[in-house]
Amino acid sequence: MNARARLSFTRPMVVGSVSTAEAWCAACAAESLPCDVVELRADGLPADTDWAVLAAMHCCRPVLVTVRHESEGGLRPMSPAERLRIALALLPLASALDWEIAQLPAAQELVAEAHAAGVPVIASAHDFEKTPTLESLLEKEQAARALGADVAKFAFRLHCAEDMMTGVQLLRRASGTTTAMGMGPLGAVSRLLYAQHGACLVYGYLGNTPTAPGQWSAALCRQSLDALGNEG
């Protein structure tokens, strides 16, 4: 499969996230993986990584490039210039690019470069403490669209069943392609629920290291979605 494979976001796809060089190399060496998309968490890799070498590597699945900001769960601090430099260096590898909604105003040149290369932009927002109100989530979704997002992605901490239903309402009322996921003890269950209500991406991890609280392995996500009757 070409690394630049087009992603349609028309069905729930399992994302297998990797955040270490070892896990990325293992993913590239595999002939098959229990996911539809591999997320390369570049923020988890050392600052002295040779990004050009990574960009030239081949993976059997389309690659989602993420260079997460520290304030929203990034695995190491980076300056805005370093984040942009890494994202641009990895753009030839990417079938999609994840950038935070809050950081999009300062990344419009990156968004333009991604779109010119045919790479959709996933605009994300994370709340590790609580579930935001439905109204605030919908406002962020609209802001993301105005800043060039092709997909809006929301991750938030769940404390109760009512919190979980906020995500369902978000998916029902969003104006475009959207995905949502819960974090914490209810996180795994919410990810399957949201897939049933239109979430286009279900995140798990490859290897041994989760990249977010409440994350299942990609293989378990795949098995669970298949058991629920989702294709793919």
Q: Where does the pLDDT of residue 228 fall: very low under 50, low under 70, confident under 90, or very high at 90 and above?
A: confident
Query: What would the pLDDT profile of 33-50 be if each residue is shown by its tens digit?
Result: 999 999 999 999 999 999
Domain assignment of residue 140, yes or no:
yes
3-state secondary structure of 130: coil
Alpha carbon 175 to chain centroid, angstroms: 19
* Residue 116 covered by a domain: yes
Dump pLDDT digits (tens) for 99-147.
999 999 999 999 999 999 999 999 999 999 999 999 999 999 999 999 9
Are 30 and 61 in contact by the 8 Å Cβ rule? The answer is no
- Asked if residue 205 lies in contact with residue 18, where contact means CB atoms within 8 angstroms, the answer is yes
6 part of a folded domain: no
Count of domains in the chain?
1
CB half-sphere exposure, 86, CA atoms < 13 A: 26
| Digit-coded pLDDT (tens) for 171-180 | 999 999 999 9
Structural contact between residues 55 and 35, judged by C-beta atoms closer than 8 angstroms:
no
**Boundaries of domain holding 38:** 13-227
The model's pTM is 0.94
Residues 8-35: tens digit of each pLDDT: 898 999 999 999 999 999 999 999 999 9
Does 99 map to a domain? yes
Contact 218, 34 (CB under 8 A): yes
Share of the chain above pLDDT 70, in %: 96
40 within domain boundaries: yes
Give 22's contacts (C-beta < 8 A, 6+ positions apart).
207
Number of CB atoms found within 10 A of residue 112's CB: 12
What is the pLDDT, as a whole number, of residue 114?
Answer: 98
Task: Give the pLDDT of residue 4.
Answer: 66
**Domain containing residue 81: CATH number:** 3.20.20.70
Q: Is residue 195 part of a domain?
A: yes
What pLDDT, on a 0 to 100 scale, did the predictor assign at position 76? 95
Contact 114, 147 (CB under 8 A): no
- Alpha-carbon gap, residue 69 to 99, rounded angstroms: 8
Residue 49 included in any domain: yes
What's the CA gap between 229 and 225, in Å, rounded? 6
Give a yes or no: residue 232 inside a domain: no
Average pLDDT over residues 74-81: 96
- 125-139, 148-162, 175-189, 213-227: range with lowest mean pLDDT: 213-227
Q: How far apart are CA 150 and CA 114, in angstroms?
A: 11
Would you state the structure tokens that stand for residue 15, as one six-digit string?
């994302």
